[in-house]
Structure 1
Amino acid sequence: MSRLRAGVIGAGMISQVEHIPNLLGLAGLFELVGVTDPSPISRQFVTDTHGVRGFETPEQLLDQRLDAVIIGSPDPLHYEQVLAALSRGLHVFCEKPLCYSPAEIADIAAARDRAGKLVQVGYMKRFDPSYRLALESLPGTAGTLRSVSVEVNDPDAWPFIAHHRYKRGGDIPKELIAAAIDKQRQQVERAIGIPLTDLAFRGFTGAYSSALIHDVNAVHGLLDALEVPDGEIVGAQIFANGDGGQGAVKLLDGQALWTMTHLTVPKLADYRERITLFFDDASLELEFPSPWLNHQPTRLTVKTSQGHTLSTRDLRAGYAEAFVEELRGFWGAIVNGDPVLNPPEHAARDQALLVGLTRLHLSGLTS
């Protein structure tokens, strides 16, 4: 068994709550060499809590002898950091969104191929045991599919991380924050390609690319299992000051419709995330818990009907944690040559849909 020397770029919430503890828990697969973050508070907290060495800059971390990096930094930094790691000959695991633009993702895929390394995107739902079981338990076919529904209400992480060891770094230099914000604006403008409103910017970077993207990726996997091709975007709306995002995609020339809505409800400590597929005589529903509640199983329910007789089955696949399993998958792809479950090509497909939703939202404002 090969043990990989790994570094973590970014010591924010996702790294402190998930990636760093999970890498340390997988000590037989990974040796965590160090973590980099521009916040001295975050670096010191990680060092004090986990005994992990801290580095001020990604370059200092990349100068260490590494096999792979896990990137959990702010979204607009992903592009340059992934390319920097690949240029050093490292395998890369990067949180979603990989990039805002499919064109930038294509750059990463080309750099990956030149380096002969692997890039995996952090769509942990693909590793959820109930999601994997759902792919094997679809109660219908493309010919009987009628609709796909995604509904999410989310207060963000605050109700679900209070029991975790986490400390926010509020001491990042202002000039670094300003540079990241400017970089983000430029990346989004290039991705969308038409004039942006502030609402569209907030919705694209927030409700769409930071939240709904998980469900877009998950639904794409379910549609692939049914051999349903990509559809046509027919509706989109960004609302609630960018905390809400809605979309509609026509599938199979109008035989079925995929609708999706994500809304952040900041002061309501309730999380619900549902993906439901309806067929002529059956349905399948995945109800996800907050992703921060580790080892809490996703509920998978299949309903079928023969006349008036309704059969409801709750399927249980186990208690494995998706955040842990995606790191196992990353290790297996590198060491054993297992398929990369979430390659850049999947991220490009997901991001292209979100770009299309945003463009349609903007076109509706001017029509």
Structure 2
Amino acid sequence: MSRLRVGVVGVGMISQVEHIPNLLRLGELFELVGVADPSRISRQFVTDTHGIANFETVDQLFDQRLDAVVIGSPDPLHHEQVLAALAVGLHVFCEKPLCYSLAEIAEIVAARDAARKIMQVGYMKRFDPSYRLALASLPGTSSTLRAVSVEVNDPDAWPFIAHQPYRRGTDIPKDMIAAVAAKQKRQVEQAIGVPFTDLAFRGFTGAYSSALIHDVNAVHGLLDALGVPDGEIVGAQIFANGDGGQGAVKLLDGQALWTMTHLTVPKLADYKERITLFFDDASLELEFPSPWLNHHPTRLTVTTSHGHTLSKKDLRAGYAEAFVEEMRGFWAAIVNGDPVVNPPEHAARDQALLLGLTRRHLATGPFD
């Protein structure tokens, strides 16, 4: 078994709570060489907690003898850091969203192909045991599909990580924060391609690209399993100061409708996330726990009706953690040549839909 030498770029919440502990847990597959982050507070906390070397810059980390890198840095830095990693011959795992624009994703695809390396995007739901079981348990076909519903209310991470060792980096220089914010604004301008409002900016970077993107990717996988092609956007709204994002997509020339809503409810310590597929005589529902609650199984329920008799069947495929399994998948793609479950091409498809929703929102105006 080949053990890969890996580094982590960005030691914010996702890396401290998930990626670093999970890579260490998978010690037979990965040797975690070091982490890089401009925050001395955060990177030293990781060193003190886990005994891992830390570096201030990405270049310093890349100077170590690495096979692969996991990128969990702020979203506007993904594009340049993925390209830099591929340029020095590293396999790359990058958190979502991979990039805001389709042009930037296309550059990454070209760089990946030129480097002949693995590039995987962090959509952990594809590795959820219940999600994988759902793909094999669909109770209908494309000809009987009537609707797809996505509903999410989310307080953000705070209720679910209070028990976790985590240290926020409060020492990032203000000029560096301002530079990243300016970079993000330029990237969004390029991606959307039309004038946008502050509300649209917040909704696109937040509710859509940071949150709902997970469900978009998961639904795309379910629709692929049914053989349902991409549909037509028929509605979109960004609301709640950008904390809410909604969309509607017509499928199969109007035979079915896909609706989706994500809302951050910042002071309500309650998380609900449901993806439901409705068929003529059955439904399938995935109810996800907060992603920060490891080893809490997603509930998979198939409901059928035979005349007046209603039946509900709960299916469970185990307690494996999706965040851990996606790292196993990354390793297997590199070492065994297994198919990459979430390549950048998937990210381009997801981002194209979210960009379309944002443009639809801008074209109609808030609640027109």
1-side partners of 2:264 and 2:182: how far apart?
24
* Counterpart residue number, 1:149: 149
Q: Which amino acid aligns with 2:210?
A: S
Matched residue type, 1:68: A
Name the amino acid aligned to 2:212: L
Q: CA deviation at 1:311?
A: 1.0
Normalised to the residue count of structure 2, the TM-score between the two structures is 0.99
Q: Distance in 2 between matches of 1:58 and 1:137?
A: 43
In the other structure, the counterpart of 2:288 is 288
Structure 2 Cα separation of the partners of residues 118 and 182 of structure 1? 30
Tell me how far apart the structure 1 counterparts of residues 320 and 6 of structure 2 sit (CA, whole Å): 22
The whole-number CA distance in structure 2 between the counterparts of 1:187 and 1:118 is 25
Q: Which amino acid aligns with 1:11?
A: V
How far off its partner does 1:120 sit? 0.2
Aligned residue number for residue 251 of structure 2: 251
Q: Equivalences for 1:327-342 in 2 at 5 Å?
A: 327-342=327-342
Where does 1:13-28 land on structure 2 (aligned, <5 Å)? Answer: 13-28=13-28
Q: Tell me what 1:124 maps to.
A: 124
Equivalence for 1:270: 270
Q: Corresponding residue for 1:346?
A: 346
Instruction: Give the 5 Å matches for 1:205-224.
Output: 205-224=205-224
Quick one: distance in 1 between partners of 2:196 and 2:190?
10
Deviations 1:62-93 (A, max 9, x none): 11110000000000000000000000000000
**Aligned-pair distance for 1:306?**
1.1
SS at match of 2:317: coil
Aligned to 1:363: 363
Residue 167 (structure 1) aligns with: 167
Q: CA deviation at 1:102?
A: 1.2
What is the CA deviation profile of residues 231-278 of structure 1, one whole-angstrom value per residue up to 9, with x for unaligned ones?
Answer: 000000000000000000000000000000000000000000000000
1:8-47 equivalence runs, <5 A: 8-47=8-47
Amino acid across the alignment from 1:365:
G
One-letter amino acid of the structure 2 residue matched with residue 77 of structure 1: L
Q: Which amino acid aligns with 1:246?
A: Q
Match in the other structure for 1:53: 53
Structure 2 residue aligned with 1:93 = 93
Letter paired with 1:264: T
1:309 Cα deviation after fit: 1.0
Query: Separation in 2 of the partners of 1:354 and 1:102?
Result: 11
Q: After the TM superposition, list the runs of 4 or more consecutive aligned residues in structure 1 that deviate by more than 4 angstroms.
A: none
Q: How many Å apart are 1:115 and its aligned residue?
A: 0.2
> Partner of 1:320 in structure 2?
320
Quote the Cα distance in structure 2 between the aligned partners of 1:43 and 1:228: 45
Residue deviations 1:115-163 (CA, integer Å, cap 9, x gap) = 0001000000000000000000000000000000000000000000001
Kindly provide the amino acid, as one letter, of the partner of residue 76 in structure 1. Answer: P
% same residue: 84
Q: In structure 1, what is the Cα distance between the partners aligned to 2:257 and 2:103? A: 28
In the alignment, what sits opposite 1:66?
66
Question: Counterpart of 1:160 in 2: which secondary structure?
Answer: helix
Partner of 1:159: helix, strand, or coil?
helix
Q: Deviations over 1:89-126 (max 9, x none)?
A: 00000000000011110100000000000100000000
CA deviations 1:296-341 (Å, max 9, x no partner) are 0000000011111111000000000000000000000000000000
Query: 1:304-319 maps to which residues of 2 (within 5 A)?
Result: 304-319=304-319
Question: In structure 2, what is the Cα distance between the partners aligned to 1:274 and 1:223?
Answer: 16
Q: SS of the counterpart of 1:178?
A: helix
Consecutive unaligned residues in structure 2, runs of 5 or more: none
1:104, 1:306 → 2: CA distance? 50
**Superposed displacement of residue 365, structure 1:** 2.0
Distance in 1 (CA, whole Å) between partners of 2:309 and 2:280 is: 15
Q: CA deviation at 1:56?
A: 0.1
Q: Distance in 2 between matches of 1:225 and 1:74?
A: 32
Paired amino acid for 1:344: P
Question: Aligned Cα RMSD in Å?
Answer: 0.7
Residues in 2 aligned to 1:228 and 1:167: alpha-carbon distance in whole angstroms:
44
In the alignment, structure 1 residue 201 sits paired with structure 2 residue 191: no
1:103 alignment counterpart: 103
Counterpart Cα distance in 1 of 2:59 and 2:234: 44
How many residues are treated as equivalent by the alignment?
367
> 5+ unaligned residues in a row in structure 1: which ranges?
none
TM-score in terms of structure 1 length: 0.99
Alpha-carbon distance, 1:287 to partner: 0.2
Return the alpha-carbon distance in structure 2 between the equivalents of residues 112 and 146 of structure 1.
38
Within 2, Cα distance between the matches of 1:92 and 1:43? 20
Give the whole-Å Cα distance in 2 for the aligned partners of 1:210 and 1:238. 14
Equivalent AA in structure 2 for residue 118 of structure 1: I
Q: Partner letter of residue 270 of structure 1?
A: D
* Matched AA of 1:13: M
Deviation per CA, 1:200-232, whole angstroms, max 9, x where unpaired? Answer: 000000000000000000000000000000000
* SS at structure 1 position matched to 2:168: coil
The 1-side partners of 2:163 and 2:296 are apart by: 15
Indicate the residue corresponding to 2:137 in structure 1: 137
